């Protein structure tokens, strides 16, 4: 059987033999009682990596984001976020369902927005307005194509947030990619935010898990909401060990995923069938538009599937491809060759 090249997402990665061994050997306990040594070690390790006091291991990025939102807000409050953000588009309406909050959006550029745009959306203190309660930033930005939010603008937004006494949350599911591509440390990115969500099951290749980071008081309150949302786990060290292995071993190699994405993007740019802004290909995600009179996006997805290459159609005319550790350079060379022959 021909080898499948799965570019639908970096969530399709499978644990390596070394990761599976670490998981099999992990000491475990009851995490609801705070007694799982592997979970505790993971939480301490990642919190230190980002310069935060505490970490809370959760099953998914949706759970970390929604736990953070619930901890920061009250029903009837409003969050300021970019209109393509994950919490609005890909978390099943959870902010409204779980926290009873609204999202006031900003139309950003490549997933980023400015302090001036934020200030325009902060509600005045009047009884007939919802209360602005949180500013949320996604970095890297999935829907924009893995783009990096400029750190200088994050700093400006933080100063504005302090002026208005507003907390900030970072959806940093792929912050690992942003740090590797930009050279900015995890601590530097995290220092501007009151809470940070990071994911282990995308580019880092762990099978399960994300983490919410913040100060001790925030994480204590968030711990209760994780329980309410069904996130209390027992002998979770088995999966936490995979996440710990991923963080300790798989961060430096992310640069390879970025190189693969760039090679694919350049092949797409050279084809008359596609349109792509190469400036947006900053990490491991490639989003391109089908402009051919010969093909539609669904035709390209099907044609690639017949060549055992899986991609993801978005928005009717665009396609997303995501590079990850299970995609070799040899596989990517094959993808580039197929694109050239279309």
User: Can you give the CATH number for the domain in which 287 is found?
Assistant: 3.90.1150.10
How far apart, in whole angstroms, are the C-alpha atoms of residue 151 and residue 157? 10
Q: What is the DSSP letter of 99?
A: I
Position 295 scores a pLDDT of: 84
Q: Residue holding tokens 């530097």?
A: 188
Position 208 scores a pLDDT of: 97
* Domain encompassing residue 283: 253-341
CB-based contact 190:51 (threshold 8 Å): yes
- Give how far Cα 190 sits from Cα of 72, 137, 166, 284, 287, Å: 17, 11, 16, 21, 27
Considering the domain boundaries, does residue 139 fall inside one?
yes
| pTM check: above 0.75 | yes
As averages over each run of 10 residues, the pLDDT of the chain (342 residues) reads 90 97 98 96 98 98 98 98 97 98 98 98 94 98 97 98 98 98 98 98 97 98 97 96 98 98 96 95 97 89 95 90 97 93 84
Position 1 scores a pLDDT of: 55
Residue 34's domain is classified under what CATH number? Answer: 3.40.640.10
| Same domain (yes/no): 309, 165 | no
CB-based contact 166:134 (threshold 8 Å): yes
| Same domain (yes/no): 37, 131 | yes
**Domain end position, chosen among 220, 249, 278:** 249
Enumerate residues 6+ apart whose C-beta is below 8 A from 21: none
| Same domain (yes/no): 111, 237 | yes
Enumerate residues 6+ apart whose C-beta is below 8 A from 90: 62, 142
How far apart, in whole angstroms, are the C-alpha atoms of residue 306 and residue 315? 22
How far apart, in whole angstroms, are the C-alpha atoms of residue 89 and residue 251? 27
| Same domain (yes/no): 265, 193 | no
| Same domain (yes/no): 99, 168 | yes
Q: Quick one: how far is CA 136 from the chain centroid?
A: 13
Which among 68, 86, 91, 60 has a CA at the least distance from the CA of 209? 60
Considering the domain boundaries, does residue 81 fall inside one?
yes
Considering the domain boundaries, does residue 159 fall inside one?
yes
| Same domain (yes/no): 37, 182 | yes
Considering the domain boundaries, does residue 7 fall inside one?
no
How far apart, in whole angstroms, are the C-alpha atoms of residue 59 and residue 173? 13
| Same domain (yes/no): 130, 218 | yes
What are the strands of the beta sheet with 285-290, ordered from one edge?
274-275, 285-290, 318-322, 312-314
| Same domain (yes/no): 204, 304 | no
Q: How many domains does the chain have?
A: 2
| Same domain (yes/no): 222, 325 | no
Q: Quick one: how far is CA 62 from the chain centroid?
A: 10
Question: Quick one: tokens of 249?
Answer: 């071993």
User: Longest Cα pair distance anywhere in the chain, in angstroms?
Assistant: 65
Enumerate residues 6+ apart whose C-beta is below 8 A from 139: 148, 149, 154, 170, 171, 172, 174, 175, 178, 189
Position 341 scores a pLDDT of: 87
| Same domain (yes/no): 244, 263 | no
């Amino acid at each position: 059987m021909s080898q499948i090249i799965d570019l639908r997402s970096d969530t399709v990665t499978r644990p390596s033999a070394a990761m599976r061994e670490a998981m099999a050997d992990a000491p475990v306990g009851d995490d609801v009682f705070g007694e799982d040594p592997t979970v505790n070690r993971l939480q301490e390790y990642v919190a230190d990596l980002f310069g935060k006091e505490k970490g809370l291991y959760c099953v998914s990025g949706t759970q970390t984001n929604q736990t953070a939102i619930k901890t920061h807000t009250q029903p009837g409050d409003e969050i300021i976020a970019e209109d393509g953000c994950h919490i609005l588009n890909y978390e099943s309406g959870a902010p409204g369902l779980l926290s009873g909050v609204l999202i006031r959006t900003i139309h950003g550029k490549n997933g980023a927005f400015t302090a001036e745009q934020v200030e325009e959306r902060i509600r005045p203190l009047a009884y007939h307005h919802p209360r602005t309660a949180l500013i949320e930033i996604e970095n890297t930005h999935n829907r924009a194509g893995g783009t990096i939010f400029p750190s200088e603008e994050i700093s400006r937004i933080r100063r504005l947030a302090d002026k208005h006494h507003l907390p900030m949350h970072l959806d940093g599911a792929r912050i690992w990619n942003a740090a590797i591509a930009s050279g900015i440390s995890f601590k530097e990115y995290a220092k501007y935010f009151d809470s940070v969500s990071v994911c282990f099951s995308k580019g880092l290749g762990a099978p399960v898990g994300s983490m919410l980071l913040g100060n001790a008081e925030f994480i204590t309150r968030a711990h209760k909401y994780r329980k309410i949302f069904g996130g209390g786990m027992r002998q979770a060290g088995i999966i936490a060990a995979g996440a710990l292995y991923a963080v300790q071993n798989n961060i430096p190699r992310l640069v390879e995923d970025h190189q693969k994405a760039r090679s694919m993007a350049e092949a797409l740019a050279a084809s008359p069938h596609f349109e792509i802004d190469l400036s947006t290909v900053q990490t491991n995600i490639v989003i391109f538009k089908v402009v051919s009179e010969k093909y539609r996006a669904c035709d390209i997805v099907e044609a690639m599937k017949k060549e055992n290459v899986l991609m993801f159609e978005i928005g009717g005319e665009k396609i997303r491809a995501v590079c990850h550790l299970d995609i070799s350079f040899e596989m990517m060379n094959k993808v580039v060759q197929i694109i050239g022959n279309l």
